[in-house]
Structure 1
């Protein structure tokens, strides 16, 4: 009887990993669909990824950006100054003349990952409760 209980718990733990992996993939796909930023190259959207880590009967679902600027898409930026790196001035198509610096007003974050997780929190919780309830 004792061996049956251990086997049952081990099977449930393996199933729990699969359940979390399924949720991680679902959340990742939802983040990609719901991202409200304007794609220029689509690299930011394509690089969003997910994973599950299991340790000591604790399961963690990760969803994260895979590009360097993902943090700025998620959280936004504060006002900052942009200066040239390799030249004496900045210039772009449509500018009246070159400038030594640009006072950027900052950007608002999209909070796409955060909003997706918050929107699905109860569904995830209920799925896990149902899984362990039988």
Structure 2
């Protein structure tokens, strides 16, 4: 889960950091200098979040373990998915890649949401 989210965020971070103008044009916008700067800052946020998830990939996540990381990921993916759903249902003629990204975000939101309230260790049976 942490590796997948790190990979998704790293791809987005690299893309928005190094190709902000091209991505904006692909999505149907004519970006000005401030728009390009905003996309690059968003790319930096994605890259930082990707690094956080990559560094936590070997740790236990769930229940009380790494709860701040789990909550941050859940909030990011849930809020992002809801914003994309709202946008895509209002403007359905958007590129198919945006629909795919929305589905990935929704899946990761569900996964982090479940992980948030589950203990990462399997239940131990008591044998007498």
- The structure richer in helix per residue is 2
- The structure richer in strand per residue is 1
Structure with higher Rg: it is: 1
Q: Same fold (TM over 0.5)?
A: no
TM-score (norm 1): 0.30
Ranked by relative contact order (alpha carbons within 8 Å, sequence separation 6 or more), the top structure is 2
TM-score (norm 2): 0.31
